[in-house]
Every structure is written in structure tokens, then in C-alpha cells.
Amino acid sequence: MSATDHAHTRIIALAALIQTSKLVDDIARKGICDSDDFNTLLHSLFTNSTKPEALFDGSSHLQAGLLLSKHLLSGENVDQAKAIMAYTASIIAVEKKLNKNTAMLQSIAAGMQRIQKQANYFGSPNHESVIGGIADLYGNTVSTLKPRIIIHGKSEILRQHSNTNKIRALLLSGIRSAHLWRQHKGGHFKLLFGRKKLLHDIDNILKTL
């Protein structure tokens, strides 16, 4: 893979990560999130391809994440910035730990195969039973890793199963994106010291949308 391909995939992965963190915070604080952005991230869990365009059904579906990434990296004032960056860092850290746990990775892969059959039965991956299945899989696997990803929000919202199920499904999707980010030479140093290049690459993708 060329340096250009790595850069492109890195940006798509980062946009998906940022979009994930934004939606997690939206649900935790308000009980709602953008349904199209949610479905894009959910779609990635049911796609075997490692190509970013296939994973997220095209870059245009990550426009929210791309724009938010640009604003954050530019140092602009962004609502929810602290929460978004905290969730993103936590997801990246958990993915790194998960990647060393072969047995858990196999459990997740087997679980997603079962859930794929569920999605086929209901005719859609965003059926509440399918999202519930993903949430249970996350709870039995990733959620057991320490330290856990702590979600901050309104207790009355987080007590509702439909909300916690969506958050867990998003987090599993975020871990998939974090894996893509790390595979293509992303990391904390890239975020801290490579912002100018990242912003350049984000602009190049946004111009094509």
C-alpha cells in the first residue's frame, strides 16, 4: 500500500472514530443521535472488507466525522470537544489491549457471525434485536477489559436499555475504526505532532464529497 493510500485510510478511520465518540456523547447526554451517522457506523460491523470506502459505504457518510475532526485538529471551539477526545482516546487504548487478546478477538468474530444471521433474518442491521445482540457481545467481551470505557451522561437516559445498547454497538464499531487507524500508522504522536498533515489530508477528502 502506498503512502497516499495509508494517509487516506488513516483519515477515514479517524473520522469514523470521532463520529463514534460524538454519537456516544449525544446519546448519553440527550438520548438521541443522528440516525444516518449511526447507521453508517453500524454498517461497518457487518462488512468484511478492509477497504475504508466499503466499510463505511463511502466517505460521504463520514462527512460529520471529517468536519468535526477538522475543527478539533484546528483548535476551534467545539461543543463536546472534551468528551469526544476522551472517548476517542479510551477507544484507541482499549483496541490496543484487545488486539493482544486472541481468544477475545475470536469470540467477537464468532459472535458477529451469529449476529449477521440475526440481521439477515430481520432484514436490517439496525433492528433493535440486532443492536441488542451487538451490545450483549460487547458486554461479554470488550467490557470485561480493564480499564473500561466509562460513559458520562444523564442517569435517566443511561438506564434505558435502548440507549445503552446503541452506545455499546457504537463502541464496538469505534474499536473497529481504531484498529484501522493503528494499522495505517495512526497513533497519539500522529495526533499531537502530525496535525498539519492530517488537516491537509482531511481537506483533500472533503473536496471530493
Structure confidence by residue, pLDDT tens digits, 106-130: 999 999 999 999 999 999 999 999 9
Q: What is the mean pLDDT of the chain?
A: 92
- Burial class for 43, CB neighbours closer than 10 Å (0-12, 13-18, 19+): middle
Which CATH number belongs to the domain containing residue 108 in this structure? Answer: 1.10.3890.10
Domain membership of residue 159 as a residue range: 3-206
What was the pLDDT predicted at 3? Answer: 72
Nearest residue to 142 (alpha-carbon basis) of 85, 84, 83, 96: 96
Per-residue confidence band for 46, with pLDDT thresholds at 50, 70 and 90:
very high
Task: Tell me the pLDDT tens digit for each residue of 12-26.
Answer: 999 999 999 999 999
pTM of the model: 0.94
The position carrying cell 444516518 is 36
Q: How many structural domains compose the chain?
A: 1
Answer yes or no: is pLDDT of 162 > 80: yes
Average pLDDT of the residues in 139-155: 96
